[in-house]
Structure 1
Amino acid sequence: MSHPEDPPTSSNTIAGVSLIDDPDLRSFAGRELGEASRGVILVVEAARERPSTKVLEQAGFTVHATYDGVEGSQWLASMTFDAMVTDVVVGGLGGIELLRYAREHDADMPVLLMTGAPDVETAAAAVEHGAFQYLLKPFPNTRLVDAVEKAVRSCRAARAKSEALQALQELETVETSARVDRGRWDNALRTLWMAYQPIVLPSGKLYAYEALVRSEEPTMRGAGDLLDMAEALDGLTALGRTIRSRVGKFAAENAGRHYIFVNLHADDLLDDTLTSRDAPLAQVAPAVVLEITERAALHDIEEAKIKMAELRSMGFRIALDDLGAGYAGLTSFAHLRPEVVKLDMALVRDIDKDPVKRKLVKSVTEVSRDIGTLVVGEGVETEAERETLMGLGCHLLQGYLFGKPQKL
């Protein structure tokens, strides 16, 4: 709060309504504290001349001043101060009441009480409510500045401690959360199982199963939750290996009867065990179709092509999943030349009612026919969708119309 300049006076003490002009105050205030250490002070004093306000402003503090205790409480509610200096007797709301109010709103802010008529009752109340200092008028200007400097130091130290404790608590919360997540993740891997959804020919005859990951961990029962946690905990490799191990056992038990479609995350292509000759799926590679989702961008198309060639040499076939769900699908389709493409569910849903979707799917089936790629219509739920996809040339169909994922 700015104030008109007051005429010079020789007084250098605060007692009642003394005016202040002390040329040594600035050097006194700065002898131990740098400019960055000055604080924001609330001053509530009865004297209209505001002597304490003038002393503190001259010493370099930022001061908000008022004569009224109620207004002072409003300042406390709306701003953060490094200290408050108040007369014990002040209009509207007394100094002791302000002290109580300050403690409720900011426990770290020091409160300095000033009085020219001390008594046992107010002194006891000051102690009870944690006043930082009880200044008896008259006192030298330098004593006020010194007391406020100490109060600012105390306040900043207390707030730094509070912030450090809060940061520590937040860190402990994060660490606890991480431990809980890790425990849940370990349980998810331990209880992981595979559900299998049928993929059929237009005639309805079973052609293959898609292996879909599930878990008994309550917070990660589905593939989406498992993948989210795997990415968060750097667990994609462990998840991929566990899935392939589970599917390998099922494929070995069903060898020669049906193809098995297995989803791969793009990061799985970086795992050397994928192409290991003694890997679980390697033993049944001719019966396995590896699905690469279009939603997860491949790190490097050329590197992916090399990896695909190696996988094909082992007997695997490659499918591009979710064609139409992202931006990279057609590029991946052109470069990787998959044996199978699976249309994204969004293209299949209500395709019988949407001519634009029909044109898009028709273009995919025509290109696929020319290059010898099978097209799977995924997410089929109605007979109308089934008939439309068959008419557009889809070779295979998958969805709730033919069966939900289940344990086999």
Structure 2
Amino acid sequence: MQTATQTSTLGPHGRERPPGGAYVADTLPRRTFDTVRFAAPRRAARTVLLVEDDELVARTLARTIRERGYDVVHVSDGRSAIESVTTRRFDVVFSDLNLPGASGVDILNVARAYDPDVPLVLMTGAPTTSTAIEACSLGVLEYLVKPTPTAELIRVLERAVATRKQVIAARTTEPSMNAVSSVTESMKALFDRALASLEISLEPIVDARTRALMGHAPKLTSNVETLNRDASITAAAEHLGRLVELRQLVRKRAVEVFLDLPKERQGSLFLDVHPSELLDGDLYAPVPPLSTIAEHVVLQLRVRGATLPVADLAARASVLRFVGYRLAIADLDVGLACLSQLGELSPEFVKLDHDIVRKLETSASQKRIVSALVAMCRAFDSQVVAEGVSTAEERDALFEAGCEYVQGALFAHASPHSGTRRVGEGSERVRRQP
């Protein structure tokens, strides 16, 4: 009897064939299969930094840019944008003008300082002659008015990329270590010039209910185009490891400006201290000029996203208070890692980060967060100051949430003569303390 021949169900390499008896590869034309297997690696896309706080506008712009084959990194505030341009390279930077944390001009200043050849595009829904002139002084490639037509956005994008290619092709290539050294030396030179021309002005801190003046905080400017504002000067100092040097200089100059004020308009002076200075004996010594006005001085620690690097924090705080200083923690937000140390430091003041203050009146959930933070601070007998207040609506919402004091552009504006901020010249009048 002849045995029937059985059809094998095993395919290549001993694998069992799927139902139907064919692999996907078996069903593809030979040339297609070869193409899939041996396709050339895809060229890395160029990357665009998009800084835009309006989510709807950002989604529209990002979609248009991605459709042209570019990767998009989107951030919605100035602080994140500055961090982005100082930590990675972009082929083009598109930035809105009015942003929380830092202005579009600040961001482009820092971007230009770190990468002199990156094409910069400034966008605004409220164009003015002064911002257009400032944009030109930065070497901005385009100054776009929102809403921007899609065709115009694509034209600017393609022009920016082409400009970048031309600059790179024209530049003589140096060894990488020499290039890094050159950029660092250039940044050092710019920062030295910024320090030499540093101007200190004082921004008022006022009672949220009565508008009475409570104190002041320094604001920085310089005549170096790429390092002419608070955010860009501080970012450069951090990059060069010279933040302590900057803080010390600002404290010295701020005291001089403070002492020039009429005594009835002095109040408290809030001065930044780098956390590492808590380990420095000089801060605890009764050395003029700071110690001579210690009863006016509030030393504020800016420790956003980090813990205070001091084990005996409570003891050191006691020594600072013995000298006469009061203490504050600045940049408090819901993500701050040092919340557990709030009780140990027991600061007289806590400053709310401006990112959670912006447009507070439009968000019920944000109001609840601020109310909870204020309640927590009060549990530690700390008074609350909100930074970055730019509208009366924000001020009123903060007062309703229990915030005692406010600081920001609502209470101080640029002087047309000096370009610096003068105390009490804001869109709202600041009352003297009785």
The interval holding the TM-score normalised by the smaller chain is: 0.5 to 0.7
- TM-score w.r.t. the length of structure 1 is 0.55
Aligned 8 A contact 1:325 1:344 in 2: no
Q: By how many angstroms is 1:285 displaced? A: 1.0
Q: Out of 393, 401, 404, which is 2:410 matched to?
A: 401
Q: Out of 196, 218, 222, which is 2:202 matched to?
A: 196
- Of the structure 1 ranges 172-181 and 335-344, higher mean CA displacement relative to structure 2 is found in 172-181
In the alignment, the residues of structure 2 paired with residue 284 and residue 337 of structure 1 have an alpha-carbon distance, to the nearest angstrom, of 22
**1:183 aligns to what SS in structure 2?**
helix
Q: Out of 306, 312, 318, which is 1:309 matched to?
A: 318
Written as runs of structure 1 = structure 2, the 5 A alignment for 1:131-142 is none
Structure 2 partner of 1:206:
213
Structure 1 partner of 2:258:
251
In the alignment, the residues of structure 2 paired with residue 189 and residue 179 of structure 1 have an alpha-carbon distance, to the nearest angstrom, of 15
Q: By how many angstroms is 1:279 displaced? A: 4.2
**1:341 aligns to what SS in structure 2?**
strand
Structure 1 partner of 2:193:
187
In structure 2, the CA distance between the partners of 1:181 and 1:376, relative to structure 1 (3 Å rule), is same
Structure 2 partner of 1:19:
none
Aligned 8 A contact 2:385 2:403 in 1: yes
In structure 2, the CA distance between the partners of 1:178 and 1:386, relative to structure 1 (3 Å rule), is closer
- TM-score w.r.t. the length of structure 2 is 0.51
Percent identity at matched positions? Answer: 28
1:205-229: CA deviations, max 9, x gaps?
2111111232222221223322222
1:367-390: CA deviations, max 9, x gaps?
333432111122222222222221
Structure 1 partner of 2:184:
178
Q: What amino acid is the match of 1:182?
A: K
Structure 1 partner of 2:244:
237
- Count of residues in Structure 1 that have an aligned counterpart in Structure 2: 244
In structure 2, the CA distance between the partners of 1:285 and 1:296, relative to structure 1 (3 Å rule), is farther
**1:307 aligns to what SS in structure 2?**
helix
Aligned 8 A contact 1:266 1:296 in 2: no
In structure 2, the CA distance between the partners of 1:218 and 1:231, relative to structure 1 (3 Å rule), is same
Aligned 8 A contact 1:325 1:346 in 2: no
Written as runs of structure 1 = structure 2, the 5 A alignment for 1:2-401 is 169-201=175-207, 202-254=209-261, 257-295=266-304, 297-324=306-333, 326-401=335-410
CA radius of gyration, larger in: 1
Aligned 8 A contact 1:349 1:385 in 2: yes
1:32-56: CA deviations, max 9, x gaps?
xxxxxxxxxxxxxxxxxxxxxxxxx
In structure 2, the CA distance between the partners of 1:296 and 1:230, relative to structure 1 (3 Å rule), is farther
1:226-262: CA deviations, max 9, x gaps?
2222233221232122111101212333456321111
Unaligned runs of 5+ in 2: 1-171, 415-419, 423-434
Structure ranking higher on relative contact order (CA contacts 8 Å, 6+ apart): 2
In structure 2, the CA distance between the partners of 1:391 and 1:384, relative to structure 1 (3 Å rule), is same
Q: By how many angstroms is 1:287 displaced? A: 0.5
**2:409 aligns to what SS in structure 1?**
coil
